[in-house]
Amino acid sequence: MIKRIGILTGGGDAPGLNAVIRAAVKTAIYKYGCEVIGIRNGYDGFIEEQGIVPLTVQDVRGILPRGGTILGAANRGNPYARKIIRDGKEVTIDVSDEIIKGIERLNMDALLVLGGDGTLRIAHELCQKGAPVIGVPKTIDNDIGGTEVTFGFDTAVTTATEAIDKLHSTAEAHHRVMVLELMGRDAGFIALHAGVSGGADVILIPEIPFSLESVVAKVRQRAERGTYFSIIAVSEGAKPKDGKQVFSRTGDEIYVPRLGGIGQLVGEYMEQQGFETRVTVLGHLQRGGTPTPYDRWLATRYGAAAVRLAAEGKFDRMVALHANRIVDISLEEATATPRRVDVHDDAVITARGLGISFGDD
């Protein structure tokens, strides 16, 4: 018998977070007669004032199509490395025991943690300390191990594909090369899926180091065949064969380094080679907006399944999608190896067959 569960949304937001919250609240209340509480701003809610809020069916009404998260997110909310000011100086402290105490104090039978790799790794560590945590895989990057899809990814791909469609018409009108930098961290899924769906001519992803000469060769080949515009979809984590990833900000023990700038680098090179080029960085538009029907569907199934796991007392687990079925895997497995584009998979083979260049030939 579960009597009370908690929900928190950690890390950066992704479309579908509210759909998971809604499904979990409704399932918990209608199916199990269980009370639900929300923890605001990721793990921080356990230690901050007014960080705990009740979640009723009334509270989740109307949130299914809403992007963001009604609980707030915090992507510096690592309880193992919390920055505070002590005696006028910034120091990093471990407050993980406060989280454990908070779970006990609030009489939570389970805590659902909606997050990406960082948040889920913390969830697993909290389980080692006895916390009854269940993970739900969230990220637009689709880079969590042990699941075929994370919620938020489909919406990001839809936004990125629409951007490529829009760039196409202006690229063609002005005979220009358009470079579109997309998110994804070290995984090229967004660029690959949107690039193929939007008909990009070149797709650059972290899993396939590229050469600038090869990108130019592809664009030149198109021009020689009478097509004077090209679309280059570049993942923020893509890197030249003999170079490094490009970062716009260095990291520290709280923030991971921020990727950004590879699109500009590619664009400048194209200009140097005589192609009029414009660079667009799609940025956080990929994280915003209403979730697609697929993301709502997946998020709803994940949220309900996470509550069923709680009722079964299965902790230190994460809901996952395998062959279109919802299953559960250990958080250890989910966080052991991040998911990356399989360069031998049919998606890459298909793209190559269509004449799309990955900048590696």
Would you count residue 207 as binding ligand F6P (CB under 6 A)?
A: no
Least distance (Å) between residue 290 CB and ligand F6P: 17
In this chain, which stretch among 106-114, 134-142, 265-273, 322-330 interacts with ligand F6P, using CB under 6 A?
134-142
Least distance (Å) between residue 262 CB and ligand F6P: 12
> How many whole angstroms separate alpha carbon 172 and alpha carbon 87?
60
Shortest Cβ contact with ligand F6P: which residue? 183
Would you count residue 163 as binding ligand F6P (CB under 6 A)?
A: no
Radius of gyration of the chain (CA): 22
Q: How many chain residues are in contact with ligand F6P, going by CB under 6 A?
A: 13
Tokens encoding 52? 């705990």
The helix (H) or strand (E) run that includes residue 307 is: helix 293-312
Least distance (Å) between residue 209 CB and ligand F6P: 19
Q: 303-342: which residues touch ligand F6P (CB under 6 A)?
A: none
Q: CA distances (Å), 297 to each of 13, 14, 128, 311, in order?
A: 18, 14, 31, 22
Contact (CB, 8 A) for 358 and 205: yes
In this chain, which stretch among 179-187, 203-211, 226-234, 303-311 interacts with ligand F6P, using CB under 6 A?
179-187
> How many whole angstroms separate alpha carbon 131 and alpha carbon 103?
7
Tokens encoding 81? 């490395």
The residue type of 206 is: P
Strands 230-235 and 177-182, by their bridges, are: parallel
In this chain, which stretch among 122-130, 163-171, 177-185, 201-209 interacts with ligand F6P, using CB under 6 A?
177-185
Residue 178 CB burial class (10 angstroms; 0-12, 13-18, ≥19): buried
Output 118 or 267, the one with its CB closest to ligand F6P: 118
Tokens encoding 84? 């505070």
Would you count residue 12 as binding ligand F6P (CB under 6 A)?
A: yes
In this chain, which stretch among 28-36, 56-64, 88-96, 133-141 interacts with ligand F6P, using CB under 6 A?
133-141
Would you count residue 121 as binding ligand F6P (CB under 6 A)?
A: no
Least distance (Å) between residue 286 CB and ligand F6P: 7
> How many whole angstroms separate alpha carbon 306 and alpha carbon 53?
20
**Buried residues in 107-145 as b, exposed as e (16+ CB within 10 A):** ebbbbbbbbbbbbbbbbbbbbeeebbbbbbbbbbbbbbb
Tokens encoding 90? 């910034």
Q: Contact letters (x/-) for ligand F6P, 243-282, by CB under 6 A?
A: ---------------xx-----------------------
Return the residue matching tokens 């979640």.
Answer: 55
Least distance (Å) between residue 225 CB and ligand F6P: 34
Output 9 or 139, the one with its CB closest to ligand F6P: 139
Contact (CB, 8 A) for 38 and 7: yes
Would you count residue 184 as binding ligand F6P (CB under 6 A)?
A: yes
141 annotated active-site:
yes
> How many whole angstroms separate alpha carbon 63 and alpha carbon 30?
17
> How many whole angstroms separate alpha carbon 267 and alpha carbon 148?
33
Output 183 or 203, the one with its CB closest to ligand F6P: 183
Would you count residue 139 as binding ligand F6P (CB under 6 A)?
A: yes
Would you count residue 295 as binding ligand F6P (CB under 6 A)?
A: no
Given 44, 109, 141, 143, the catalytic residue: 141
Would you count residue 75 as binding ligand F6P (CB under 6 A)?
A: yes
Least distance (Å) between residue 328 CB and ligand F6P: 23
Return the residue matching tokens 């890197």.
Answer: 239
Output 40 or 185, the one with its CB closest to ligand F6P: 185
Applying CB under 6 A, among 44, 109, 141, 295 the residue interacting with ligand F6P is 141
> How many whole angstroms separate alpha carbon 298 and alpha carbon 319?
11
Strands 35-39 and 4-9, by their bridges, are: parallel
Catalytic residues: 141
Q: Where on the chain is the footprint of ligand F6P (CB under 6 A)?
A: 12, 75, 116, 139-141, 183-185, 236, 258-259, 287
